[in-house]
Amino acid sequence: MADPLYELLTPYLDKFSSSKPASASADAVTNKYLERLHTLSLSSLTSQEPQSLAQSSHSTLLSIQSLSSRSNAAIIASADHFAHLEDVLPHLAEEASRLRTEIPKLDERAATFSTTYSRSTENEVLDRRKRALLMERNADRLSDILDLPNLLSSAIASSAAQGASSTASYAAALDLFSHIKRLHLLYADSPLITSIYAQTESAMHDLTSHLIAALKSQSIKLASGMRTVGWLRRVAPELDTGANGTGSREGLLGYLFLLCRLSTLVTTLSALEPLKHLANQETDIRLRKPARPTTSKASNGSAWHGGQQSERYLKRYIEIFREQSFAIISTYKSIFPSAADAQTAEDFKLPFKSAGLKSLPTLTNQTSQKEKAEDMPSALSTFSPYLADLLFDTLQEYLPNVLDKTSKESLFTQVLYCAGSLGRLGGDFSLMLPMLSSGLTEESDECENEDESWVDVMKKHRELAGRLEALASGVGPSKGADRGGSVRVKS
């Protein structure tokens, strides 16, 4: 029914619209309105429907006005864009065509980038970037490693300022050096670690110098000496090898220790230079005289006083020598016990050589140089005769100045005590003492007097030693006195 009614009303609709009206079936709103008209009566069509249409028209007009008011800006913008749409669409089509042309190139570049910077292949840029990232992540560790030389230098400076008693500073410095050495072994190809290791080696040379200087200190004790030698073994392990490089006995550290203590002994004895100067004056006076006086009394108008200054110098010299030499050898034997055991087998040979006597059989010609190097004596076996020679040189130079028999016997007794003191440590040089009196005088009668004096001193010393041994063993005084002349005690 909608289509016939629509065709009936079409002539009337042409008056209000210039466009050709569409079919009712094509317009859902028109079709719905026509269906509604079929349901109305004639009176409703003539009276109510016009009012309803007017109200609907007015309501639609208000809605359109409200919409236009709200969407004015958007409508104007849309109109502007629509006006330029004819220019934009060709440009868009051109850019789309260009994009379609460039996409294969982009795909090719992406494939090339993916192949070049793949993790499965080696690339310098990626390696440099990885190293940079690794350095950034380990910046704190690198900073700590770079601070190691400064920390080591600070620890060494602190230990040098505090002296040999600074065990904590020395231990900290050695621990730091051990850590740097391990890093150098693990990362030997790293220039940074190599540079740090070179700096620490220079610092460890300073530490070695400080430790060697500590061995020369006047007040070094057994505990501090053992600690210092132990630190030297860690700082310079090459010093812990033998003279032939075999690492036997005490190594070069034993020689170094004895040299340092000998330097200290010489320095201590050099404090007697004022007394030595006076003794030298007495020596010059004695040598200028045509003949030596037979008594200890001063001659008329002469500066010769019987060797009192020489006696003072020798007494003080022997006292210092006995104390220092005993301390050196006892400390050495405590620090290097293996060297002390090896030295006992050589105690017989070197003192006889120093005395000019026949020594033990020498090596045969067939002995190789290597065997000779391995059979080199220990440092202590050569050090003890050197100390004896040092003492004997001083005695032979200044003892002839002492003319008083009592003073000379007192010096002889002091020398015997010194020999006995060293004899407790295996350095007895009492067999060399009878040779001392043979070179003190030039005239034969005085030589005989000197020999008699020396024999008397030896007898008194042995008698006293026998009595002391007898008292120590609980034997009566008479028995001890009887065997006093034949008993020889190293005390």
Predicted confidence (pLDDT) per residue in 244-300, tens digit: 444 445 678 888 889 999 999 999 999 999 998 998 888 888 888 755 444 444 444
User: The whole model's pTM is what?
Assistant: 0.59
Give yes or no for a contact between 425 and 380, defined as CB atoms under 8 angstroms apart.
no
pLDDT category of residue 68 using cuts at 50, 70 and 90: confident
pLDDT digits (tens, 9 = 90+) for 162-188: 665 567 778 888 888 889 999 999 988
Kindly tell me if the per-residue pLDDT of 48 is higher than 70.
yes
Kindly tell me if the per-residue pLDDT of 210 is higher than 80.
yes
- Between 242 and 10, the more confident residue is 10
Average pLDDT of the chain? 75
Rounded mean pLDDT, 370-390: 72
Kindly tell me if the per-residue pLDDT of 316 is higher than 90.
yes
Give yes or no for a contact between 250 and 232, defined as CB atoms under 8 angstroms apart.
no
Instruction: Give which of 481, 464, 477 is closest to 420, Cα–Cα.
Output: 464
User: How many whole angstroms separate alpha carbon 414 and alpha carbon 377?
Assistant: 30
Length of the chain: 491
Q: Residue 387: what are its φ and ψ, rounded to 5°?
A: -65, -40
Instruction: Give which of 412, 413, 419, 410 is closest to 395, Cα–Cα.
Output: 412
pLDDT digits (tens, 9 = 90+) for 439-460: 554 433 444 455 555 566 666 6
Kindly tell me if the per-residue pLDDT of 60 is higher than 60.
yes
What's the distance, CA 162 to chain centroid? 18
Alpha-carbon separation of residue 341 from 42, 148, 336, 347, 348 (angstroms) = 149, 42, 9, 11, 14
Confidence at residue 465, expressed as pLDDT on a 0 to 100 scale: 60
pLDDT digits (tens, 9 = 90+) for 27-46: 788 888 888 877 888 888 88
The helix or strand, by DSSP H or E, that contains position 356, with its residue range, turns out to be: none
What's the distance, CA 8 to chain centroid? 116
User: How many whole angstroms separate alpha carbon 299 and alpha carbon 164?
Assistant: 54
pLDDT digits (tens, 9 = 90+) for 91-132: 999 999 999 999 999 999 998 888 887 777 777 888 888 889
- Within 10 A of 217 (CB to CB), how many other CB atoms are there? 15
Long-range contact pairs involving 265-270 (C-beta distance under 8 Å, separation at least 24): 265/320, 265/321, 265/324, 265/325, 265/328, 267/216, 268/218, 268/320, 268/324, 269/317, 269/320, 269/321
